[in-house]
Chains A and B, each alone.
Chain A
Amino acid sequence: MIEPDLRSRIEKIVSRISRIDASEFHDDVLIREELGIDSLMAMEILATCEKEFDLQLDEAAFSCVETVGEFFQLLEARYSEQRAAG
C-alpha cells in the first residue's frame, strides 16, 4: 500500500500536468486509454516526479505501466529503493 502522503503528492503532479481531477485516479483506471495521458505528458510526469522526489526513474519500466495503480506502485518501489540505498 502506497503511503498516503506520497500518493497525494504524486496525484497533484499528475493532475496539474494532465489537467485531470485527482478524483479520477482510481487504481484500475488505464492511464493512456481512459485518462488520455499521451507520451509527452507521461514524460513530463516522469521528469517532474524525478525532480520532486529526487529519483531516477526507468523509462522502459514506465512504458510498461498500464494502470494508475501500477504507476503509483512503480514510483513507490523506486522511492523506497532509493531511500534504502541512502
Chain B
Amino acid sequence: MSRPADAEFASHDSISDAVLASLAHWGNHPALSVISPDRPELVISAVDLRTGVLDVERLLRSWGVRQSVPVALFLENSSDFVILLLALARIGAVVIPSKLDWHRMELEELFANADPQLVISEESHLGVISPFLTGRAVAAHRARGITLVQEADKPPAEAEVPDNVASINYTYRGLGYPLGAMVTHRQYLHGARVLQDGLQAEAGEQMLYSIPMTHIFTLVGCILVPLLYGLTGVIARTIHPRLLFQAIDRLNIQHLTAVPEIYSLLLRAHGASAAPPSLRTFVSGGSVLSGELFARLGDHFGVEVLHGYGLTEFTPVSRNARGESQAGTVGPICDGIDCRIMPVDHAGSGEIMIRSRFISPGYYRRETETRAAWDGEWFRTGDTGRFSVPTDGAASSDGFTERHLMFDGERKATRKVNGVMVDLEEVRLAMMRFAGIRDASVSFEAGVLTAEVAPSASDASPDLPAALRLFLKEQIASYKIPRIINLRD
C-alpha cells in the first residue's frame, strides 16, 4: 500500500471523493476494524469499504436523497456510520451527526432547526426519537445494513446551506440551546491534513479510538485522517481498559486518540504493567489535558502526547506536532488559520479569536447567533487563552509557529464534562421545566456539575433532588444532569 500525496486531496471538494481516491491505493488492506466487547472483530478492506459506500449511495438515491437534503444520523460508532457519512457526502447531502445521548430538549431544537428529511437511526433508538419522526422518512440501522421503515409524507426539501457544506454539527455557546455549525468539505479536508502534519503517521499504521463519531474531533481526526493517509482505523466500541489494552497488544496499535479523561482512566487501570511496545502517540482532544497528565502519560507509556485545541466551527485551531510537543499547551497555531487574543488582560489572557477561509459559514438558520459570534471575519471562540510568548495581541500562523497557545478556560457558559460540552443555561432551563421549582442555577465547581435549586413550596420534600434527576433524565443527556443538587430558600 502506498500513501497518496497531499496534492491529490487538494483537488477534491468532497470528503468522499478524497477518501475514495485514497482507498484506491490500498488494495485489500484493512481500512476499518471494529472491536466490541460482545462481538467478534469485524475487518473491512479498502475494496469492501469503497464498494459499501457506492452501494449505500445507490440505496440512498433510490430513497430520494439528493444534494443538500439534510439527513440525521443517530448511530453508534460503527463501520456503517463511516459508510453512510461517505455515501451521503458523495450525494452532496447534508449530514447531521446526532448524539444518541440527547433527549427531549436537545431533540426539540435539532428537529425544529435542521428539519432532517431522512432520519437514519439505530433500531433500538427509534423509541427515543419517535415523537419527532412524523412525516419524515426513517431508516433503521440493524446489526449490519439499513432498512427504510417509514416513507416521508412529501418529497424531501433541501437545506438552505451555502455551497460545499458537508454537515451541520450541533454545539453550544451557553445560550441554552444547541447551534448547528455548518461545516464544509474543505474544512474537513484541511483539518485532516493539518492533524496528519502533526501526527506524521505512516501508511500501514493503525489508529484506535473509542470517542463518539458525532464529535468533530472524531470525524476529522479519527475517521478522515486514517482513511486519507493510509492508516487502519480501529473503532473500539468500549472504553473498558482491559479490552483496550488487549486490542492495542493484539493489533499492534501505534496511535490512540481519546479525550484526557479516558487517558487518565487508562493510566490508573494500567498499574505497573509494561507499556505496549507498539504504541507511539496519544492524540488528545475534547477537553484540557493537564501538564501533569501529559507528563505521567509520557513517562508511563513511553509515548508522545499530542494535545490540541479545536472547535466544532473549526478544528484544529492549534495542535502539538510529533517531536515538538510540550506540556500545558495546546500547541502552535495551525496552518491556514490566524489567531489573536482580544482583549488582552494584564496576564496576556483574553478571548481566542480566529479567522480562516475554511471556517464554518455560520449557524444553520440562526442569523442572530451567527452575527453575535463573528466580528467581521474573526470568529469569537468564547474561550480564553494566551500565547506562551508575550505578544502585542495579534498573531498569525506566518512566522510565529514557535509560539504555543495556552488554553485558559471558557468565557461562554459552557463546560466540558469528560470531553463533552455542557451548556449550563440549557441545564438550568431543563430544571425550570420541573413543576416543583421556582428558581435554579447551575455551576461547574471543582469538576462537578452542581445545581442550586429553590423549590416552589417552602415545605419541599427532601426527595425533590431525586425526583428532579428522574425528570431531567427525560429532558437532557444524562451527562448533563448535575451530580450535586442543593436545595435553597
CB-based contact A44/B269 at 8 Å: yes
Q: Is B142 an interface residue (CB 8 A)?
A: no
Q: Is A9 an interface residue (CB 8 A)?
A: no
Residues of B within 8 A of A43 (CB): 239-241, 265
Residue of B nearest to A29 (CB): B466
CB-based contact B483/A36 at 8 Å: yes
State whether A38 and B479 are in contact (beta carbons under 8 Å apart), knowing that A43-B265, A47-B242 are contacts in the complex.
Answer: yes
Residues of B within 8 A of A12 (CB): none
CB-contacts of A8-23 with B (<8 A): none
Complex partner residue of B262 from A34, A36, A40, CB under 8 angstroms:
A40
Q: Is B38 an interface residue (CB 8 A)?
A: yes
Complex partner residue of B481 from A33, A50, A56, CB under 8 angstroms:
A33
Residue of B nearest to A50 (CB): B242
Complex partner residue of A32 from B241, B265, B268, B478, CB under 8 angstroms:
B478
Residues of A within 8 A of B242 (CB): 47, 50, 56
Residues of B within 8 A of A39 (CB): 239, 418, 479
| Interface range, A side | 10 to 19
Residues of B within 8 A of A48 (CB): 269
Residues of B within 8 A of A33 (CB): 466, 469-470, 473, 478, 481
Residues of B within 8 A of A44 (CB): 265, 268-269
Residues of B within 8 A of A56 (CB): 242
Expressed in whole angstroms, the minimum distance between the Cβ of B65 and any Cβ of chain A is: 33
Q: Is B261 an interface residue (CB 8 A)?
A: yes
Considering residues B238, B262, B265, B473, which has the most beta carbons from chain A within 10 angstroms of its beta carbon?
B265
Contact string against A for B residues 34-48, beta-carbon threshold 8 Å, 1 for contact and 0 otherwise: 000110000000000
How far apart sit A40 and B419, CA to CA, in the bound complex (Å)? Answer: 11
Residue of A nearest to B241 (CB): A47
Residues of B within 8 A of A38 (CB): 417-418, 478-479
Residue of A nearest to B471 (CB): A33
Q: Is A84 an interface residue (CB 8 A)?
A: no
State whether A40 and B483 are in contact (beta carbons under 8 Å apart), knowing that A33-B469, A51-B271, A60-B37 are contacts in the complex.
Answer: no
Residues of B within 8 A of A54 (CB): none
Q: Is A68 an interface residue (CB 8 A)?
A: no
State whether A40 and B265 are in contact (beta carbons under 8 Å apart), knowing that A47-B240, A50-B242, A59-B238 are contacts in the complex.
Answer: yes
How far apart sit A32 and B427, CA to CA, in the bound complex (Å)? Answer: 17
Residue of A nearest to B470 (CB): A33
Residue of A nearest to B485 (CB): A36
How far apart sit A69 and B417, CA to CA, in the bound complex (Å)? Answer: 27
Residues of A within 8 A of B466 (CB): 30, 33-34
CB-based contact B271/A40 at 8 Å: no
How far apart sit A32 and B37, CA to CA, in the bound complex (Å)? Answer: 21
Residues of A within 8 A of B469 (CB): 30, 33-34, 36
How far apart sit A2 and B31, CA to CA, in the bound complex (Å)? Answer: 47
Contact string against A for B residues 185-218, beta-carbon threshold 8 Å, 1 for contact and 0 otherwise: 0000000000000000000000000000000000
How far apart sit A59 and B483, CA to CA, in the bound complex (Å)? Answer: 23
Q: Is A75 an interface residue (CB 8 A)?
A: no
How far apart sit A58 and B240, CA to CA, in the bound complex (Å)? Answer: 10
CB-contacts of A31-71 with B (<8 A): 32-34, 36, 38-40, 43-44, 46-48, 50-51, 56, 58-60
How far apart sit A40 and B238, CA to CA, in the bound complex (Å)? Answer: 11
Residues of B within 8 A of A47 (CB): 240-242, 265, 269
Residues of A within 8 A of B418 (CB): 38-40
Expressed in whole angstroms, the minimum distance between the Cβ of B315 and any Cβ of chain A is: 22
How far apart sit A50 and B483, CA to CA, in the bound complex (Å)? Answer: 25
Residues of A within 8 A of B37 (CB): 58-60
Residue of B nearest to A38 (CB): B479
Residues of A within 8 A of B240 (CB): 43, 46-47, 59
Expressed in whole angstroms, the minimum distance between the Cβ of A8 and any Cβ of chain B is: 22
CB-based contact A60/B38 at 8 Å: yes
Residues of B within 8 A of A32 (CB): 478
Residues of B within 8 A of A58 (CB): 37
Expressed in whole angstroms, the minimum distance between the Cβ of B478 and any Cβ of chain A is: 6
Residue of A nearest to B478 (CB): A32
CB-based contact B481/A36 at 8 Å: yes
Expressed in whole angstroms, the minimum distance between the Cβ of B446 and any Cβ of chain A is: 10
Contact string against A for B residues 392-423, beta-carbon threshold 8 Å, 1 for contact and 0 otherwise: 00000000000000000000000001100000
5 contacts between A and B (CB under 8 A): A39-B239, A43-B241, A47-B241, A56-B242, A60-B37
* 4 pairs of A and B residues whose beta carbons are closest in the complex: A36-B483, A59-B37, A33-B469, A47-B269
Since A33-B481, A58-B37, A59-B38 are in contact, a sample of 12 more A-B pairs with Cβ atoms closer than 8 Å, ordered by chain A residue number, is A30-B466, A32-B478, A36-B469, A38-B418, A38-B478, A39-B418, A39-B479, A40-B418, A46-B240, A47-B240, A47-B265, A60-B38
Interface of B toward A, CB cutoff 8 Å: 37-38, 238-243, 261-262, 265, 268-269, 271, 417-418, 466, 469-470, 473, 478-479, 481-484
Interface of A toward B, CB cutoff 8 Å: 30, 32-34, 36, 38-40, 43-44, 46-48, 50-51, 56, 58-60
